Amino acid sequence: MDDAAQETLFLTFKAVIEDVIADKRKDAKNTKTLDEFEARINMGLHVEEDFILWVNLIADNGNYSLNKGMLEEYDLEIISDPEDLMYFTNGEYSTMKMMITKNRFGNRKLRTKGGTTGRNMGILLKLPKILVLEKK
Protein backbone atom coordinates (compact mmCIF):
# COMPACT_ATOMS: atom_id res chain seq x y z
CA MET A 1 0.00 0.00 0.00
CA ASP A 2 1.56 3.28 -1.06
CA ASP A 3 1.80 6.39 1.14
CA ALA A 4 -1.08 8.20 -0.59
CA ALA A 5 -3.44 5.24 -0.07
CA GLN A 6 -2.35 4.98 3.57
CA GLU A 7 -3.04 8.68 4.13
CA THR A 8 -6.47 8.40 2.48
CA LEU A 9 -7.36 5.38 4.61
CA PHE A 10 -6.20 7.12 7.78
CA LEU A 11 -8.15 10.31 7.04
CA THR A 12 -11.28 8.34 6.15
CA PHE A 13 -11.05 6.21 9.30
CA LYS A 14 -10.39 9.29 11.43
CA ALA A 15 -13.44 11.05 9.96
CA VAL A 16 -15.64 8.03 10.66
CA ILE A 17 -14.53 7.76 14.29
CA GLU A 18 -14.91 11.52 14.85
CA ASP A 19 -18.39 11.46 13.27
CA VAL A 20 -19.52 8.53 15.42
CA ILE A 21 -18.36 10.27 18.60
CA ALA A 22 -19.93 13.59 17.52
CA ASP A 23 -23.21 11.80 16.73
CA LYS A 24 -23.19 10.07 20.11
CA ARG A 25 -22.59 13.42 21.85
CA LYS A 26 -25.90 14.71 20.43
CA ASP A 27 -27.74 12.38 22.82
CA ALA A 28 -27.35 13.48 26.44
CA LYS A 29 -27.57 9.89 27.69
CA ASN A 30 -24.13 9.21 26.15
CA THR A 31 -22.36 12.14 27.80
CA LYS A 32 -21.32 10.30 30.96
CA THR A 33 -20.06 7.25 29.03
CA LEU A 34 -18.07 9.37 26.57
CA ASP A 35 -16.61 11.62 29.26
CA GLU A 36 -15.63 8.82 31.64
CA PHE A 37 -14.10 6.48 29.05
CA GLU A 38 -10.33 6.60 29.33
CA ALA A 39 -8.19 4.40 27.14
CA ARG A 40 -5.12 4.20 24.97
CA ILE A 41 -5.85 1.80 22.13
CA ASN A 42 -3.63 0.63 19.27
CA MET A 43 -5.84 -0.16 16.30
CA GLY A 44 -4.47 -2.18 13.40
CA LEU A 45 -6.32 -1.74 10.13
CA HIS A 46 -5.68 -5.00 8.27
CA VAL A 47 -5.87 -3.83 4.65
CA GLU A 48 -3.72 -6.34 2.79
CA GLU A 49 -2.68 -9.91 3.50
CA ASP A 50 0.71 -8.78 4.77
CA PHE A 51 0.07 -5.13 5.70
CA ILE A 52 -1.56 -3.56 8.76
CA LEU A 53 -1.89 0.23 9.07
CA TRP A 54 -1.50 1.16 12.73
CA VAL A 55 -3.39 4.05 14.30
CA ASN A 56 -4.05 4.87 17.92
CA LEU A 57 -7.09 6.17 19.74
CA ILE A 58 -6.59 8.11 22.94
CA ALA A 59 -9.61 8.91 25.11
CA ASP A 60 -8.94 11.15 28.09
CA ASN A 61 -11.46 13.20 30.08
CA GLY A 62 -13.95 13.27 27.21
CA ASN A 63 -11.36 14.24 24.61
CA TYR A 64 -10.70 11.81 21.78
CA SER A 65 -7.81 11.84 19.35
CA LEU A 66 -6.90 9.46 16.57
CA ASN A 67 -3.32 9.48 15.32
CA LYS A 68 -1.06 7.42 13.09
CA GLY A 69 1.29 4.85 14.54
CA MET A 70 1.39 2.65 17.62
CA LEU A 71 1.60 3.77 21.22
CA GLU A 72 4.36 2.30 23.36
CA GLU A 73 2.09 2.27 26.42
CA TYR A 74 -1.45 1.18 25.70
CA ASP A 75 -4.43 -0.51 27.33
CA LEU A 76 -5.69 -2.57 24.41
CA GLU A 77 -4.65 -3.60 20.93
CA ILE A 78 -7.20 -4.54 18.30
CA ILE A 79 -6.78 -5.58 14.67
CA SER A 80 -9.57 -5.59 12.12
CA ASP A 81 -10.32 -5.10 8.45
CA PRO A 82 -11.51 -1.47 8.01
CA GLU A 83 -14.64 -2.67 6.22
CA ASP A 84 -15.55 -4.93 9.14
CA LEU A 85 -14.98 -2.03 11.55
CA MET A 86 -17.33 0.09 9.44
CA TYR A 87 -20.07 -2.55 9.77
CA PHE A 88 -19.30 -2.74 13.50
CA THR A 89 -19.60 1.02 14.03
CA ASN A 90 -22.88 1.27 12.13
CA GLY A 91 -24.31 -1.57 14.22
CA GLU A 92 -24.64 -4.11 11.42
CA TYR A 93 -22.06 -6.44 13.01
CA SER A 94 -22.35 -7.27 16.70
CA THR A 95 -19.39 -7.62 19.03
CA MET A 96 -20.01 -11.37 19.09
CA LYS A 97 -19.99 -11.60 15.29
CA MET A 98 -16.75 -9.59 15.20
CA MET A 99 -15.14 -11.90 17.76
CA ILE A 100 -16.08 -15.27 16.25
CA THR A 101 -16.39 -14.94 12.46
CA LYS A 102 -13.55 -14.73 9.95
CA ASN A 103 -12.53 -11.84 7.71
CA ARG A 104 -11.38 -12.00 4.09
CA PHE A 105 -7.85 -12.94 5.22
CA GLY A 106 -9.02 -15.91 7.29
CA ASN A 107 -8.52 -14.21 10.68
CA ARG A 108 -11.22 -13.29 13.18
CA LYS A 109 -12.95 -10.03 12.22
CA LEU A 110 -11.78 -8.51 15.52
CA ARG A 111 -8.56 -9.70 17.10
CA THR A 112 -7.53 -8.38 20.50
CA LYS A 113 -4.40 -8.42 22.57
CA GLY A 114 -3.77 -7.16 26.07
CA GLY A 115 -1.98 -3.90 26.53
CA THR A 116 1.15 -2.92 28.37
CA THR A 117 -1.00 -1.62 31.24
CA GLY A 118 -2.89 -4.92 31.57
CA ARG A 119 -6.31 -3.20 31.63
CA ASN A 120 -8.08 -4.47 28.58
CA MET A 121 -11.24 -6.51 29.19
CA GLY A 122 -13.24 -3.62 30.61
CA ILE A 123 -12.11 -1.39 27.76
CA LEU A 124 -13.00 -4.04 25.20
CA LEU A 125 -16.48 -4.32 26.72
CA LYS A 126 -16.96 -0.53 26.72
CA LEU A 127 -15.64 -0.02 23.19
CA PRO A 128 -18.99 -0.73 21.48
CA LYS A 129 -20.63 1.93 23.67
CA ILE A 130 -18.16 4.44 22.26
CA LEU A 131 -17.77 3.35 18.64
CA VAL A 132 -21.15 1.86 17.69
CA LEU A 133 -23.99 4.07 16.52
CA GLU A 134 -27.38 3.41 18.10
CA LYS A 135 -30.18 2.27 15.85
CA LYS A 136 -32.95 4.81 15.64
In-domain check, residue 19: yes
In-domain check, residue 59: yes
| CATH number reported for the structural domain that contains residue 40 in this entry | 3.30.1050.10
In-domain check, residue 136: no
Rounded Cα distance between 56 and 74, Å, is 9
Q: Domain total for the chain?
A: 1
Question: HSE of 19 in the Cβ direction (CA atoms, 13 Å)?
Answer: 9
Whether pLDDT at 135 is above 80: no
Domain boundaries, position 76? 3-131
Total-model pTM: 0.90
pLDDT tens for 6-56 read 999 999 999 999 999 999 999 999 999 999 999 999 999 999 999 999 999
Mode of pairing for the β-strands spanning 39-48 and 76-80: parallel
Lowest-pLDDT choice from 43-47, 55-59, 64-68, 116-120:
116-120
In-domain check, residue 92: yes
What's the average model confidence in pLDDT over 63-76? 96
pLDDT tens for 90-112 read 889 988 999 999 999 999 999 99
DSSP assigned state of 108:
B
Whether pLDDT at 124 is above 90: no
